[in-house]
């Protein structure tokens, strides 16, 4: 994949007080990319787009370079204690993006130049919870890989946690540009996870992300670099031929992943589901979507926050679960399945 290059970049004036901010400013000016200033990274105006779909596309080509204010980190239960805000959004256009509802109609990308201050805040949380281990999630607001070549924030974070006895880090990506992270001193304290799906699903719905083959190849490199490794298989769809397609995904992993790196690998399985609000968003941004969003073929399940979601029926869920369990047992007998939903 080509590295992400935005069409336009906004800078908060304060970002230029940091060496990373100045370096990025010079970098984009030299590339002849449109550079503008913005008073706040939270309220950026001037991104073009007449329709929701156009606005979305343009926002995904807009980068904002800002300073993250010293505030508290959001909690991230149940998988981690806190979110670690390294960046916001990503250049991908997955039709079922898990951030779509929170980022709204103009999900422009944001990177923060005050990484050291963000890590200082993480340190304070770790100290506060000592002697307990504190876990941070690095992809609650973004996919942190596409902007990594610009900021180096992820590598610094991985090395920060490499030095922490009581801090652990995890993140997930749909991208494959992992080279700069392979020699990071991670000390086994970062779980590097890849979001995977059947190749047909990735090709059809995960626009502008790495292909399945690229992600599997990147995962093998990460495994060889000694990182704890994990896979989120999501969202899982049932359609004619789904078993063959997901079987091919496991075969690709089997062909690439060194045997000695499979112990301790984690799997998370999430079947496809949608809320009424998410469906409306998808149809706004991708009016010609072929995503299966027919409520009549699903079961309605009340969620814990008062809104419900449409999930596969119990019978279909059981079929997916049995299938995935068999794959894990066959190819990754020493892996841990964290959950299936
Ligand atoms: S890669 Fe992740 S964050 Fe980016 S659009 Fe796809 S689902 Fe959303």
pLDDT for 139-163, tens place per residue?
999 999 999 999 999 999 999 999 9
9-23, 40-54, 277-291: lowest mean pLDDT where? 40-54
pTM above 0.95, yes or no: yes
Mutate to test the pocket of ligand 1, among 97, 194, 233 (most ligand atoms within 8 A of CB): 97
For the CA of 89, the nearest atom of ligand 1: 3
pLDDT average, residue stretch 250-258: 97
In the predicted structure, residue 323 carries a pLDDT above the cut 90: yes
Nearest CA to ligand 1 atom 7: 97
Q: Would the CB of 41 count as within 6 Å of ligand 1?
A: no
Question: Which three-class secondary structure state does DSSP give residue 66?
Answer: strand
What is the per-residue pLDDT for 253?
98
Our answer on whether the CB atom of 94 is closer than 6 Å to any ligand 1 atom is: yes
What is the atom index within ligand 1 of the atom nearest the CA of 209? 1
> Which residue is it, tokens 């990506």?
173
Give the number of the atom of ligand 1 that is nearest the alpha carbon of residue 99: 8
Which alpha helices (DSSP H) does the chain contain, by range?
A: 19-30, 52-59, 100-103, 115-129, 148-151, 153-162, 199-205, 212-224, 242-256, 276-285, 314-331
- Report whether pLDDT(210) > 90: yes
Ligand 1 mean position, distance from CA 207 (Å)? 9
Task: Kindly tell me if the per-residue pLDDT of 305 is higher than 70.
Answer: no
pLDDT, the chain, mean: 96
Q: Is the pLDDT of residue 194 over 90?
A: yes
In terms of Cβ atoms closer than 10 Å to its own Cβ (0-12, 13-18, 19+), residue 89 is: buried
Q: Do the beta carbons of residue 10 and residue 19 sit within 8 Å?
A: no
Interval 24-50 mean pLDDT? 94
Closest residue to atom 8 of ligand 1, CA basis? 97
pLDDT confidence band for 228 (50 / 70 / 90): very high
- Does residue 97 line the site of ligand 1, with CB under 6 A? yes
92 lines ligand 1 (CB under 6 A): yes
CATH of domain 8-340: 3.80.30.30
Distance 128 CA to ligand 1 centre (A): 32
Residue nearest to atom 6 of ligand 1 (CA): 94
Distance, in Å, from the CA atom of 225 to the CA atom of 38, rounded to the nearest integer, reads 40
Q: Residues 118-126: what's their mean pLDDT?
A: 97
Of the listed ranges 26-35, 93-102, 149-158, the one predicted with least confidence: 93-102
């Amino acid at each position: 994949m080509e590295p992400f290059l935005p069409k336009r970049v906004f800078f908060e004036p304060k970002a230029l007080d940091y060496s990373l901010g100045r370096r990025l400013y010079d970098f984009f000016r030299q590339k002849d990319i449109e550079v503008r200033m913005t008073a706040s990274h939270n309220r950026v105006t001037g991104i073009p787009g007449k329709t929701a779909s156009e606005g979305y596309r343009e926002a995904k080509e807009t980068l904002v370079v800002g300073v993250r204010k010293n505030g508290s980190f959001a909690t991230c239960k149940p998988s981690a204690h806190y979110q670690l805000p390294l960046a916001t959004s990503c250049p991908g256009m997955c039709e079922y993006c898990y951030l779509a509802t929170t980022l709204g109609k103009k999900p422009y990308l944001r990177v923060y130049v005050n990484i050291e201050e963000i890590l200082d805040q993480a340190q304070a949380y770790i100290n506060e919870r000592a002697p307990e281990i504190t876990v941070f999630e690095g992809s609650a607001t973004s996919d942190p890989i596409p902007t990594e070549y610009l900021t180096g924030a992820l590598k610094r974070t991985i090395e920060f946690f490499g030095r922490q006895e009581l801090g652990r880090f995890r993140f997930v990506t749909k991208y494959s540009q992992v080279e700069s992270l392979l020699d990071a001193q991670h000390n086994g304290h970062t779980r590097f996870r890849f979001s995977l799906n059947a190749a047909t699903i990735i090709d059809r719905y995960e626009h502008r992300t790495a292909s399945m083959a690229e992600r599997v190849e990147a995962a093998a490199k990460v495994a060889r670099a000694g990182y704890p490794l994990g896979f989120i298989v999501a969202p899982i769809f049932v359609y004619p031929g789904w078993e063959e397609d997901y079987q091919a995904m496991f075969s690709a992993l089997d062909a690439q992943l060194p045997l000695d790196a499979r112990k301790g690998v984690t799997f998370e399985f999430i079947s496809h589901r949608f809320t009424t609000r998410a469906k409306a968003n998808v149809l706004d941004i991708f009016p010609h979507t072929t995503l299966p969003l027919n409520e009549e073929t699903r079961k309605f399940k009340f969620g814990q926050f008062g809104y419900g979601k449409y999930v596969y029926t119990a019978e279909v869920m059981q079929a997916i679960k049995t299938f995935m369990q068999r794959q894990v047992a066959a190819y990754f007998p020493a892996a841990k399945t964290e959950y299936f939903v």
